[in-house]
Amino acid sequence: MKKRIGKVIKILPFIVIAVLMLLWIVSGRDLSIDDIISFLPQNLFLASLIMLALYALKSISVLFPILLLQITSGLIFPLYIALLINCIGTVIAYSIPYTIGRFSGSSLADKIIKKYPKAQEFVDLQRNSDSFISFFLRAISCLPADIVSLYLGSIKIKYVPYAFWGLVGTLPGLIPATVAGASITDPTSTAFIVSVSLTVLSSVGSIVIYRLYKKRKT
């Protein structure tokens, strides 16, 4: 009975993901910033709780990009609150698939490596430092964020360095995206132009770092 319950618990998150994706596909809608704003209450505290709930939803689905949430927070909250919400939300979005991966065990890690051969390149990094691999995989953005979380959970790295350094690795993209949201109503403003430029540079920089890493390893 325990084994059966364990198997059900292991596949339950994936069933939930499949149902959410199916419902969203059937609805025929694309989630936009306006959609999120339309059902957020005027009360900033309640709105922040809903935003965090959306981060949790994002962690178990591919219905919308996390960048959409970062920009929306910057648009509707004061900048310092938006940054705080986005940081907490990011940790939540990383923690849920990490927990699923940790519970699923090494079998999930093997499946991820088989489906994403790039993950094999970073297996040796984990043997040296949980903190480094948590930071590095977020900073270079060479794998889907949810897959990274599942994988790092399945190989059972320590949670605290995983969450902290994973967030640090995300900050070069998170901060400019939040500032872009705060200044999106004035696309000609210096803040908007700089933040968008930094977001693009962060993406390009992650690719360059990954290429340099591969070249050095070779």
- pLDDT-based confidence at residue 206 (cuts at 50, 70, 90): low
Burial classification of residue 165, based on how many CB atoms lie within 10 Å of its CB (0-12 exposed, 13-18 middle, 19 or more buried): buried
Whole-prediction pTM: 0.74
Cα–Cα dist 95/134, whole Å: 12
Q: Considering Cα of 163, then 117, then 55, then 8, what sign does the dihedral take?
A: negative
For residue range 98-134, list pLDDT tens digits in order.
988 887 766 666 777 677 666 666 666 555 677 888 8
Mean pLDDT lowest for which of 6-10, 111-115, 137-141, 165-169?
A: 6-10
Higher pLDDT, 155 or 48: 48
Judged by DSSP in three states, 152 sits in helix
Mean pLDDT of all residues in the chain? Answer: 75
Using an 8 Å Cβ cutoff, are 178 and 73 in contact? Answer: yes
Question: Which is nearest to 143 in space by CA: 125, 164, 127?
Answer: 125
Q: Given this model, what pLDDT does residue 164 score?
A: 92
What's the whole-number mean pLDDT along residues 161-174?
88
- Largest separation between any pair of C-alpha atoms in the chain: 62
Rounded distance between C-alpha atoms, residue 128 and residue 75, angstroms: 40
Kindly tell me if the per-residue pLDDT of 169 is higher than 90. no
What is the C-alpha separation between 133 and 99, in angstroms, rounded? 17
Separation of alpha carbons 54 and 103, rounded Å: 23
**What percentage of the chain carries pLDDT values higher than 90?**
11
Distance CA 146, CA 97 (A): 6
Q: How confident is the model at residue 200 (pLDDT cuts 50, 70, 90)?
A: low
Task: Inform me whether the pLDDT recorded for 218 exceeds 70.
Answer: no
Report whether 131 contacts 38 (CB < 8 A): no
Q: What is the mean pLDDT of residues 11-18?
A: 58
Residue 180's domain comprises: 2-217
Q: How many domains does the chain have?
A: 1
- 81-93 confidence digits (pLDDT tens): 999 999 999 999 9
pLDDT at 63: 62
What region does 86 belong to: left with phi over 0, alpha with psi -120 to 50, or beta? alpha
Mean pLDDT of 195-201: 66
Helix intervals (H) in the chain: 2-27, 33-38, 44-59, 66-76, 79-104, 106-115, 123-128, 130-140, 145-154, 159-182, 190-217
- Tell whether the model's pLDDT for residue 23 goes beyond 60: no
Q: pLDDT at position 172, please?
A: 82
What is the DSSP code (8-state) at residue 157? -
Q: What contacts 132, CB < 8 A, 6 or more positions away?
A: 125, 165
DSSP reduced 3-state for 214: helix
Picking from 135-139, 140-144, 211-215, which range would have the lowest pLDDT averaged per residue? 211-215
